[in-house]
Amino acid sequence: MKTLSCPVDSIEYYNHDTRRIFLKIPEGESVDFKAGQYLQMILPTNKKCPFSIASAPSLEGMVEIHIRPTPGSEDSKIIETLLDEAKVIDLELPLGDCFLEKAPAGPLLMLAASTGITQMKSIIESILPGGLEHPVHLYWGVLADKDLYLSDLCKSWEEKDKNFHFVPVVSEPETSPDWQGKTGLVGNIALDDLGDVSDTTVFVSGSPGMVYATLDLYVENGLPEKNMFSDIFSYAPRAK
Ligand SMILES: Cc1cc2nc3c(=O)[nH]c(=O)nc-3n(C[C@H](O)[C@H](O)[C@H](O)COP(=O)(O)OP(=O)(O)OC[C@H]3O[C@@H](n4cnc5c(N)ncnc54)[C@H](O)[C@@H]3O)c2cc1C
């Protein structure tokens, strides 16, 4: 793991609140990370805040992250100000043991909540160029349809490989009167659609509550616990 001061290359809004940030790896340095790992942004207060790396390792000289502010969070306010003003951002990277270097030898299910899509983006952009021999299902759960800021990109992956399938899910449809797609909790919807998950590898990205509820549901429905992977298992272990 390295600590680097990374110049800001670009920052732009995807939608009403989520920003895409490209940070340059300083000259003479390199970063060796695996798709699915995360970095920590070091705030002026010295607090370290984790963000999944959204780019694939094949992108050289740069890392991409997506940041959505958390209402009511002091750290989030500091991060937003940093994004508005900073020319250089200090990072610690790479971290995390939830990564994928090549597609598994069986079906893969990716369950992403909100900005959890970033971790899946890095993984998908790494495994798609080699071709998919088994089905890969990406289910992306958001509160409202306006939060689906990467929908076009996810749909473009379907066009690249017939084994890739993308399903967006809105959990608060009352906020999205024009939404015609699936509604409910992302993990439950994927389980209803797929049925048998006993030989599936499952990656989950989201809050601890979402990840542990998904783990319990899937294990009850026949998924071997060892087949589920999430940063949360090491970042926020479940209280005994
Ligand atoms: C491994 C990891 C990766 C994250 N990646 C991102 C990201 O790519 N973009 C982003 O905007 N925020 C991400 N977050 C959340 C982000 O770190 C916090 O929003 C940020 O530190 C500001 O603090 P807070 O007070 O909002 O949140 P906190 O109260 O510190 O955290 C909010 C809660 O949301 C969970 N969470 C939110 N988003 C994610 C996510 N994508 N993956 C895993 N857990 C999540 C956190 O574990 C935590 O329980 C990630 C969190 C973790 C643990």
Give residue 157's pLDDT.
Answer: 98
Going from the Cα of 162 to the center of ligand 1, the distance in angstroms, rounded, reads: 32
Domain ranges of the chain: 2-95, 108-235
pLDDT at 34: 98
Q: Is the CB of 182 under 6 A from ligand 1?
A: no
For the chain, residues with pLDDT lower than 50 are: none
Which of ligand 1's atoms lies nearest the C-alpha of 231? 1
Q: Say what the pLDDT of residue 239 is.
A: 81
Domains 2-95 and 108-235 share a fold: no
Alpha carbons within 13 A on the beta-carbon side of 103: 21
Q: What are phi and psi for residue 24, nearest 5 degrees?
A: -85, 140
Cβ of 234 closer than 6 Å to ligand 1, yes or no, is no
Output the pLDDT for position 177: 95
Instruction: State which ligand 1 atom lies nearest to the alpha carbon of 41.
Output: 21
CATH classification (class only), 108-235:
alpha beta
Q: pLDDT at position 240, please? A: 72
Q: Rounded to whole angstroms, how far apart are CA atoms 51 and 82?
A: 15
The residue whose CA is least distant from atom 41 of ligand 1 is 116
Tens of pLDDT along 132-188? 999 999 999 999 999 999 999 999 999 999 999 999 999 999 999 999 999 999 999
Q: Which CATH architecture has domain 2-95?
A: Beta Barrel (2.40)
**CA 22 to CA 7: how far, in whole Å?**
9
